Structure 1
Amino acid sequence: MSQIETLKARIEADLAPSIKSLVLDRGELTLTVKAADYLAVAQKLRDLPEFKFEQLIDLCGLDYSSYKDQPWEGPRFCVASHLLSVTHNWRLRLKVFAPEDDLPVVASVNGVWSSANWFEREAFDLYGILFEGHEDLRRILTDYGFIGHPFRKDFPVSGTVEMRYDAEQKRVIYQPVTIEPREIIPRIIREDNYGGLH
C-alpha cells in the first residue's frame, strides 16, 4: 500500500461520520467535510498522531456558481485548505462548502493553524466568505470603502466604483466607473514581400 493510500485508509477509519467525499486523483487526496464538522476535523487532523498535519500551507475561497462552463448543482462557495504533515511527509486538501449561498459562513481554523489568519481575511475580502470565530476579519487587499467581492463570478469585470485623487478637493473621491465600452478589432497589416514571400 502506497503512502497516500495509507493516509486515505486512516481518514476513512477515523473520520468516517464527517466525510462528504474522499477522492484520490492524480496522486492527490481531497477530503470534503460537512460544514458543521469542519473545525473538529481540522483539530483532529492536526492533533491525532496518525495524521499530524502540523502546517496549513494555503487556504483559499472558491466560487462554484458555474463550473467547467456548466451550471453547478450544490452550494456555491467553498474553502479549500492545503495541509502538510512534516512528521509523516504527506499532504491533504481539505474542502468545506458554506451551507448558505446568500451568506456564506464557515468556521475559522485560525485557532488550529495560525497561518490561516491572512488567508481567511483574503477569502473574506475577495469572495465574501465569513469565518466564524476569526478575531480580526476585515479586508486585506481591497480598500476599506470597496463595495463587493471582486473574485465572485457575478462581480462586474469593470467594477462599479472607481477611486481617484482629486487635486482641487485635495482628497480621494469615489465615483461610478466611467469606462465606455468599445469594440476592439485587431488591425492586420499585410506586406507584399513579408519574409521574402511574393
Structure 2
Amino acid sequence: MTVLAVSPEKIKEAVSAALGAKVRQIQVALGEVTVQVDAAVYLEAMQLLRTAPGCKFEQLIDLCAVDYSTYQDRVWEGPRYAVVSHLLSVSLNQRLRVKVFCPDDDLPVVSSLTSMWEGAGWFEREAFDLFGVLFDGHTDLRRILTDYGFVGHPFRKDFPLSGHVEMRYDNDQRRVIYEPVSVEPREITPHIIREDKYGGLH
C-alpha cells in the first residue's frame, strides 16, 4: 500500500504540535520544512520527532555541520556553527530538516544522537573532523576523513587553503613526517589579453 506524501504545511503543523515551546523557528521554503531548536532541548526534541504520532521520523538520513561566519558574504550575527540533520518518516512518507546552533563559538558542542540513531556516529565524526564540532555522548569521536596528525578543521571558513602542515615520506627515518607548509600563500590574478586581433579574432 502506497502512503501519499504529506504536504509541507501539514508537516509543519505536526512538528509544531509535537515540539510546542521547544520550537525556536520553523519555516517552509522550496517545499521543505526546517525547524530550529536550542541546544539545551536538542535531544528531547529529536526524541519527540521520532515518536510523536504525527511525526514518526524513524530514520536519520544525514547530519552535517555548517560554518555561518561568512554566510551569504556578509557579517553573520549569532552563533557561528550549526548542526543540521535530515529526518525521514517511512511510515508517513515525510521529511524534515532540523537545525541546532552550538552556543559557544570557541568550543562548539551539541549532544550526540548516537543513543537514538547509531548511524549518527559516522556523520558526527565527519562534522567533528571537518568543522571541529564536538558531540557530547559520542563514544568514539575521532577523525574519519583527514589523517590523525592533521592540524585544524578544513571546512571552517577561516582555514587556510594550503593548510598548516604537509606530510611526506622520509627515506632516512622510514616513516611519514609532518613539516610546516612550504607553499607560499598567494592570490592568482587572471591575465587579460587586450590585443584586438588575438588568435585571429576581430
Fold match (TM-score > 0.5): yes
Q: CA deviation at 1:187?
A: 7.8
Q: Partner residue of 1:107?
A: 111
Cα root mean square deviation, aligned: 1.9
Residues 129-168 of structure 1 aligned to structure 2 (within 5 Å): 129-168=133-172
Q: Partner residue of 1:21?
A: 25
Q: CA deviation at 1:166?
A: 0.9
Residues 1-198 of structure 1 aligned to structure 2 (within 5 Å): 3-181=7-185, 184=188, 185-186=190-191, 194=199
State how far apart, in whole Å, the 1-side matches of 2:185 and 2:46 are.
Answer: 47
Specify every segment of 5 or more residues in structure 2 that has no aligned partner in the other structure, as ranges. Answer: 1-5
Q: CA deviation at 1:116?
A: 0.8
CA contact under 8 A between 2:18 and 2:52: conserved in structure 1? no
How many residues end up aligned between the 2 structures? 196
State how far apart, in whole Å, the 2-side matches of 1:24 and 1:182 are.
Answer: 42
Q: CA deviation at 1:144?
A: 0.9
* Segments of 4+ moved more than 6 angstroms: none
Q: CA deviation at 1:55?
A: 0.9
Q: State the SS of the aligned residue for 2:113.
A: coil
Q: CA deviation at 1:158?
A: 0.7
State how far apart, in whole Å, the 2-side matches of 1:193 and 1:73 are.
Answer: 49
Q: Deviations 1:73-132 (Å, cap 9, x if unpaired)?
A: 100000000111111111100000000001000000111112211000000011110000
In structure 2, do the counterparts of structure 1 residues 182 and 79 end up closer, same or farther at CA, with 3 Å as the change threshold?
closer
State how far apart, in whole Å, the 1-side matches of 2:67 and 2:91 are.
Answer: 33
Q: Which amino acid in the other structure matches residue 92 of structure 2?
A: H
Specify every segment of 5 or more residues in structure 1 that has no aligned partner in the other structure, as ranges. Answer: none
CA contact under 8 A between 2:15 and 2:54: conserved in structure 1? no
Q: Which amino acid in the other structure matches residue 83 of structure 1?
A: L
Q: CA deviation at 1:194?
A: 4.8
Q: CA deviation at 1:10?
A: 1.4
In structure 2, do the counterparts of structure 1 residues 171 and 56 end up closer, same or farther at CA, with 3 Å as the change threshold?
same
In structure 2, do the counterparts of structure 1 residues 127 and 140 end up closer, same or farther at CA, with 3 Å as the change threshold?
same
Q: CA deviation at 1:3?
A: 2.1
Q: State the SS of the aligned residue for 1:15.
A: helix
